[in-house]
Amino acid sequence: MTTPPTSLTPAGDGRELLVARDIHKSFGQTVALAGANLSVAAGEILAIMGPSGSGKSTLLHCLAGILPPDSGETWFAGVRTDQLNDTARTELRRTSFGFVFQFGQLVPELTAEENVALPLLLNGIRRKPAVDAARLWLARLGLGGVGGRRSGELSGGQAQRVALARGLVTKPRVLFADEPTGSLDSLTGEQVMEHLVDAARTEGTTVVIVTHEPRVAAYAHREVMVRDGRVSAGRPQLATP
């Protein structure tokens, strides 16, 4: 194992679970990240905000090992994740991370229950315990009655809660959510966020949410702004006049 990074947070208490250090990432001529630094403490719920095209989703993808940065370092639990090969990164995502995206991205051919059970099946869990765990999660998110429905038969809010159950069923250390309420009305979005935050608190899950919605960010402990591929803290220190 490589030496863990020195602290990037003012607290410096060594509880950082995720760290991005001087991350650069471009897509062709387009610079998405230009020296982004971020650190997320274990158990923290962090909102990443910023205008469209600021690089906030790319930052999430780099932290989550979906995209390797062009340069810079990403760390998870004391391990350099940017240096892992594809297989190791896939393994990390499957075992330690959960994901919820703007549009649930459920597999349409599968029932809600099968969708939730899918990550467990991919991790080698047998079908019966996987489906049992899926049922428990669906019940926990108030979806006891819809386990047998396919995604086309679910409302937007139900589909998003199914996606949330799927993101949490493996009991990940970190849940990454990209605009998790983006396609929902206010009330349904609020219900999804309540479930997300409740589950994260109960399970001790660290949550990183990308959102441009202040009402979603208000569920987080802390927010950061991404601008032009860099991260600035949400609460700047003003110079004393």
Binding site for other proteins (CB under 8 A): 51, 212-215, 217-220, 223, 225, 232, 234-236, 238-241
Complex with other proteins: residue 203 or 213, whichever CB lies closer? 213
Complex with other proteins: residue 170 or 211, whichever CB lies closer? 211
Q: List b or e across 209-231, with b for residues whose CB sees 16 or more CB atoms inside 10 angstroms.
A: bbbbbeebbebbeebbbbeebbb
Complex with other proteins: residue 171 or 201, whichever CB lies closer? 201
Asked if 64 and 238 touch (Cβ cutoff 8 Å), the reply is no
**All residues at 6 or more sequence positions from 153 whose CB lies less than 8 Å from its CB, including other chains:** 146
**Minimum CB distance to other proteins, residue 77 (Å):** 27
**Minimum CB distance to other proteins, residue 217 (Å):** 6
Asked if 216 and 188 touch (Cβ cutoff 8 Å), the reply is no
**Minimum CB distance to other proteins, residue 187 (Å):** 10
Q: Strand locations in the chain, DSSP E? A: 16-27, 30-41, 45-49, 71-76, 79-80, 97-100, 174-178, 206-210, 222-227, 230-233
Complex with other proteins: residue 1 or 239, whichever CB lies closer? 239
**Minimum CB distance to other proteins, residue 207 (Å):** 14
Complex with other proteins: residue 124 or 241, whichever CB lies closer? 241
Place of tokens 């409740």: 198
Distance, CA of 150 to CA of 140 (rounded, Å): 19
**Minimum CB distance to other proteins, residue 51 (Å):** 6
Complex with other proteins: residue 152 or 236, whichever CB lies closer? 236
**Minimum CB distance to other proteins, residue 238 (Å):** 5
The pairing of strands 206-210 and 222-227 is unpaired
